[in-house]
Amino acid sequence: MALYVKKFGGSSVATPEKMLNIANRVLRDRKPGDKIVIVVSAMGDSTDDLLDLAAKVSDVNYARERDMLLSTGEQVSIALMAMTFKKLGVPAISLTGPQAGIVAGGGYGKATIDDVKPDRVFKELEAGNIVIVAGFQGMMPNGDIATLGRGGSDATAVALAGAMHADMCEIFTDVDGVYSADPRHVTGTIKMKEITNTEMLEMARLGAGVMQPRSVELGMKYHIPIHVRSTFTDEEGTIIREVCTMETRDDTVRGVAQDAHAARIAVLGLRNIPGVAYKIFSVLAENNITVDMIVQSVRNSNDDKTDIIFTIDDADLSDAKRVLDAMRDEGKVEEVIYDDDTAKVSVVGAGMLGRPGVAARMFGALGRAGVNIDIVSTSEISISCLILRKDLDKAVQAIHCLLYTSDAADDLTR
């Protein structure tokens, strides 16, 4: 007897037929006494369709109303999913995020899950129901619905699993696990049986689309193992857990991540005095804009002006433009240049720590592929390069080939 939280993404619940397949699979795998909570996303591309609808009404982001609109997508899925089970003669009940006790904080549009109070979910499980919960939404302290950022249903599933001390959180998706690079863009990728949550967090943060970074963080916080696997096959996927049980620790590099959504901003001609960078980044933080790679340029040492270049998610570009153009208009900076043709490629692996040569190999692969590097940033377990977006696929492929084929060893000794 075990408690499972199973999350199915938008492509997995895109049609009533697919919902029926899911229901049959869940019932087939359920052992006597198992308790099942299912978290679902909105059907297919319906979140995008709702966003398009909102854009037709106004290009202003009315954040509260937009969340009200977006949260309906998941509500369609839970109701239809519950009906599907009922039709099969199995007791089931749908619950919205607020009904399931998902307490959201922060702001509309990218709210965090601050608490989970799953009393109702437990009660419905006790009553013999399969409980179907709407992903991507929670209730703010003021009673409003807020959404959790794109891909946020993963976070719902992991947080629920954590709060309910589930035995496993399963993320069913259209890929069958976590690969050494995105198999849709790169050939020769390897599926990982296991990955540590630190590595997965870094991969997700750097653009591996399989899981939303925040949900990986929640998995760490609650010590919940997460099984990422395919909706469409029975094959085992990849298990994200604290410590890998297998001998994978020696892999210097675990994966190559790509992020096509990095936008580059150059703030030019700032006064070269203490506190200036603080001013820029605090204004961005107040506006909920996360800054990623940062470099401050070295002009002449006696120059009284300096430049700061950094990257953000391109979804935040128009917000950033608004605040930084205002600073320019007030004369606080001379010029701001926005560049949306950039992308980020990264290598990730805990085994890289303290091993020289990974950066050199990465830069070598990019150089031979004719890809220019604009900015480099590193963390303890990753190295990232900002490049032109048009070069992204080429860059990932080149780095992946170098690191994962037998030639890699040769290359090191060359």
Interface with ligand ASP by CB under 6 A: which residues? 9-10, 41-42, 47, 73, 135-136, 150-153
- Which 3 state secondary structure label does DSSP give 237? coil
Count the neighbouring beta carbons within 10 Å of the beta carbon of residue 194.
17
- Partner interacting with residue 180 (select from Mg ion, ligand ASP, none; CB below 5-8 Å by kind): none
Residue 393 and residue 382: Cα distance in Å, rounded? 19
> Of 41 and 231, which has the nearer Cβ to Mg ion?
41
Q: Which positions lie near Mg ion, rule CB under 5 A?
A: 10, 41
- CB-nearest residue to Mg ion: 10
- CB-nearest residue to ligand ASP: 153
CA end-to-end span of the chain: 56
Count the neighbouring beta carbons within 10 Å of the beta carbon of residue 376.
14
63 neighbors 109 (Cβ within 8 angstroms): yes
> Of 152 and 177, which has the nearer Cβ to ligand ASP?
152
> Of 118 and 151, which has the nearer Cβ to ligand ASP?
151
In angstroms, give the least distance from the CB of 312 to Mg ion.
22
- One-letter amino acid of 259: D
In angstroms, give the least distance from the CB of 135 to Mg ion.
9
Residue 150 and residue 139: Cα distance in Å, rounded? 17
> Of 10 and 162, which has the nearer Cβ to ligand ASP?
10
In angstroms, give the least distance from the CB of 109 to Mg ion.
15
Q: How many CA atoms within 13 Å lie on the side-chain side of 251? A: 21
> Of 10 and 207, which has the nearer Cβ to Mg ion?
10
In angstroms, give the least distance from the CB of 297 to ligand ASP.
36
> Of 47 and 397, which has the nearer Cβ to ligand ASP?
47
In angstroms, give the least distance from the CB of 109 to ligand ASP.
11
- Partner interacting with residue 346 (select from Mg ion, ligand ASP, none; CB below 5-8 Å by kind): none
Cα–Cα distances in angstroms (integers) from residue 386 to residues 187, 372, 377, 390, in the given order: 22, 9, 9, 12
DSSP 126-155: HTTPEEEEESSEEE-TTS-EEE--TTTHHH
Please report where in the chains the tokens 């410590």 appear, as a residue.
243
In angstroms, give the least distance from the CB of 152 to ligand ASP.
5
